Structure 1
Amino acid sequence: MSKILIAGAGGAPSEGVINSLLMGAKGDTVIGMGSEPSDLALSKASKKFYIPYANTPEYQGKLIQLLNAEKPDLVHFQNDLEIFHASLIRDAILATGTKLFMPSHEVIDTCVHKHKSYEAFKRAGITVPRNIMINDEQDLREAFKSLGNVDGKIWLRASSIGGGGKGAIPTNDFALAKSWIDHYNGWGDFVAAELLTPNTITWLSIWHEGDLVVAQSRERRSWTHGNRSISGVTGVTKVGVTCANDKATEVAINCIKAVSEKPHGIFGVDMAYGFDGVPNPTEINISRFFTTVQFFTEAGLNMPEIFKDIALHGEFPQLESIINPLPNDLMWLRGMDTPPRLTTEQGIRDEIIFI
């Protein structure tokens, strides 16, 4: 039996991992740490430790203190900011005897900075929506001129570390776009891109020393609270559906190999469909599971357990297929203050009276 420390405990991205590990066969102990006490209080971790935010001077000392005191066998991080900063001090973490299972820092740096990953995709010849880094008003004017769709709209978002559609907005209004970037102090950070369709697919995978261990894709039907976001994007899936798309698999693998010659750890490729039906990569969620990972666990594919067994025991899963082993059309429903639900579209129709 092992002890695993999960960062960001209590938040949706980490609780799916914690729940999955607790559902595992080995009866491992799962402890949690985080920087939001109100989140920690909601976690199912057996112990919960407060730690300063990863971008503060106190973080390293407190993390090492916790690792030396609790001696977890493995520590795993679940948000880009902490992944980036923990990666910088990985030698100090490993010196405590706690294991890590993550890509090189160079790969992490490329993926958490979206424009760097965009450049890597482009160099590899992958179809990707054209991006323009917005350093000044002239760049913004050029973006509207060269990237606008038939309605003149472009997609703006922050390139720096952060999830949940950070700073994202679709607009055809130059004055609004300028004010939006001003509000975020985002000159030199924001990127403009061609606007794609709202249809998206994510390809979540685990690699070990260059070899693919397992990958599963799912399409997103809607975002939680998307109607309360100006962009319609919140980073939190409301309805997800398992699927298999050979082109998406090809694109995802090419993207991963574009940022890493020898992929190692977790790579989640987010793609949006172009109007021609081709999946275009928008980012790689590096070294972390997405928020709906418990979906796959409940469906029969426990990726956090696979990850942990590789990291701690060198044990690899025996699967009939390593790419999309789950059946298509399984559906994961999520809402506020209600347990998530694994079902199918037919299952929904069977229990609802339509009048």
Structure 2
Amino acid sequence: MAKERILVTGAGGIAGVNFVRALRASAQGYYIAGAEYNKYYIELPDLDSRHRSPRHDSKEFVETISGIAKKERVDFIHPQPSSEALVLTAAKKELPAPVFLPGADVMELGQDKLLTQERLTKASVPVAETRTVTTMDGVETSFKELGRPVWVRARHGAGGRFSLLCQKPSEAREWISLWVDRGTPLDEFILQAYLPGRNIAWDSIWKDGKLVTSYCRERIEYPFKHISPSGITGTPSVARTVHDAKVNKASEEAVLAVSQRPHGAFSVDVKEDAEGRPCVTEVDSGKFHTTMPLWGYVGVKHLRLPWWSNLADLYVRLGLGEAPPKDVVRSDLFPAGYYMIRNMDSGVILWREDGWKERVL
């Protein structure tokens, strides 16, 4: 039987490297081609062939990816960065191979945190109370309504973009003004009530409107947090798997609020309030969180779970038209209490509080 041929775009980013690594752990023996804008990072993943691609906002992006897919005779295309996924889902009819993505309207909604919050509120999904920034004078009023401290953040982007926990209105105004003076529109900022509880990520795969599998993990520490004003730098350096029925329920409801027929990968960010109630802060569709494929790699290589715990492998097989496995678990895919500890040039360790540990990378 011939190997399925897969094209991964954005293959040189951390998430792309993790996705390729997870596919290498599959018994399917995939042929993996990679495309990447950065001429250095394309050297990082374990690929069968490497290709440079233009930025996602280039007029040549779709044509270039289609050309690579035709040249490599691929059976499936996985765009890892959300920016590339949005472009390719909008152009899916032009592609020579299938993608496993939500529609462009769903992805555009997920990439706007303000619109996402409004949609979730209408669906009675718990969220952080949010205010828009239309004038600097309005910041004072927002603080009175939200209480202190207030979380300032950008409507778009990842990695804690423009985020800062502010104790007083003058601090928020100065922070926002700094970026407005550098060309950021004022309405790019939103203010949210601070949620002091756990920071949780819920990752899932859906097909034709039905949840296939999911798991959640608590983010405990971020790399280089000491050089970030907010302490948030995107992907965590320490995270642990958790089982929480309330988080599962809120996250499923959030996905169904933003998409009537979820299809593909959906990742939900959750922050707990002072009473421990999970509140949804983001719903990302069409992309894998950075460590989502790495947890799948851990599942099959170190936890000795069934093949479908390898989320990248499961996702590709579903995207190629296979039906969901009959024995796949719908939630809590990984056992609770496992810590993933990782840092630049330090490898990856799987650890438990009873002292057990195993090196992953």
Length-normalised TM-score, structure 2:
0.90
Cα deviations across residues 215-267 of structure 1 (Å, max 9, x unaligned)? Answer: 11111111122222111111111111111100001100110111111111111
| Distance change in 2, residues 1:63/1:296 (3 Å) | closer
Using the alignment, how far apart are the partners of 1:148 and 1:309 within structure 2? 48
Whether the 8 Å contact between 2:350 and 2:358 is mirrored in structure 1 is: no
Equivalent position of 1:340 in the other structure: 348
Equivalent of 1:307 in 300, 315, 335: 315
Aligned to 1:90: 92
**How many aligned residue pairs are there?**
344
Query: Which residue matches 2:306?
Result: none
Q: Which runs of 4+ in 1 moved over 6 A?
A: none
Structure 1: state its 5+ residue gaps: none
- Higher mean C-alpha displacement, 266-275 vs 60-69: 60-69
Alpha-carbon shift at residue 168 of structure 1 (Å): 0.9
Counterpart secondary structure, 1:237: coil
The answer to whether 1:125 aligns with 2:124 is yes
SS in 2 for 1:127: coil
**Residue 158 (1) aligns with residue 154 (2):** yes
Q: CA deviation at 1:104?
A: 1.3
Deviations 1:2-39 (A, max 9, x none): 11111111211111111111101110011211111121
* Cα distance, 1:107 vs structure 2: 0.8
Q: TM-score, normalised by structure 1?
A: 0.92
Residue 87 of structure 1, CA deviation: 2.3
Q: Which residue of 2 aligns with 1:276?
A: 275
Shift of 1:319: 3.0
Letter of the 2:286 counterpart: S
**Within the alignment, does 1:327 sit opposite 2:323 as a pair?**
no
Q: CA deviation at 1:320?
A: 5.7
Q: Alpha carbons of 1:296 and 1:344: their partners in 2 closer, same or farther (altered >3 Å)?
A: farther
Aligned to 1:156, the other structure's residue is in SS state strand
C-alpha deviation, 1:189, in angstroms: 1.1
CA distance in 1: counterparts of 2:213 and 2:345, whole angstroms:
31
> What's the counterpart of residue 136 of structure 1?
135
* Alpha-carbon distance in structure 2 between the residues aligned to 1:272 and 1:296: 23
Match of 2:205 in 1: 206
Alpha carbons 2:296, 2:312 under 8 Å: kept: no
Matched residue of 1:116: which SS?
helix
| Cα distance in 2 between the residues matched to 1:240 and 1:350 | 15
CA contact (8 A) 1:158 1:186 kept: no
Q: What is the aligned counterpart of 1:63 among 62, 65, 77?
A: 65
The answer to which of 292-301 and 229-238 deviates more is 292-301
Deviations 1:178-234 (A, max 9, x none): 343233313111111011115211111111111111111111111122222111111
Change (3 A) 1:267 1:320: closer
Contact 1:319-1:325 at 8 Å conserved across structures: no
1:75–1:100 CA contact under 8 A, matched in 2: yes
Q: Is the 8 A contact 2:270 2:281 kept in 1?
A: yes
C-alpha displacement of 1:309: 0.8
Encode CA deviations 1:102-158: one digit per residue, 9 max, x unaligned. Answer: 111111111011111111110011111111121221332222221232xxx211111
Partner of 1:178: 173
**Which ranges of structure 2 fall in alignment gaps of 5 or more residues?**
301-308
1:17 aligns with 2:34: no
Q: Percent identity?
A: 25
CA distance in 2 between counterparts of 1:272 and 1:143 reads: 20
Instruction: Say if 1:10 and 1:44, in contact at 8 Å, map to a contact too.
Output: no
Q: Please tell me the residue identity of whatever aligns with 2:334.
A: L
Residues 146 and 304 (structure 1), Cα distance of their counterparts in 2 relative to 1, 3 Å cut: same
Whole-angstrom CA distance in 2 between matches of 1:25 and 1:349: 25
Q: Please give the secondary structure, in 1, of the residue aligned with 2:126.
A: coil
Judged with a 3 Å threshold, the aligned counterparts in structure 2 of structure 1 residues 30 and 122 are, in CA distance, closer, same or farther, namely same
Q: 1:279-304, CA deviations, whole angstroms, 9 ceiling, x for partnerless residues?
A: 11110121111111212321232011
Change (3 A) 1:125 1:112: same
| 8 Å Cα contact 2:213-2:328 kept in structure 1 | no
2:215 counterpart of 1:220: no
Paired position in structure 1 for 2:186: 187
Give the Cα separation in 2 of the matches to 1:198 and 1:290. Answer: 21
Rounded to whole Å, the distance in 1 between the matches of 2:104 and 2:358 is 49
Give 3-state SS (helix, strand or coil) of 1:40's partner.
helix
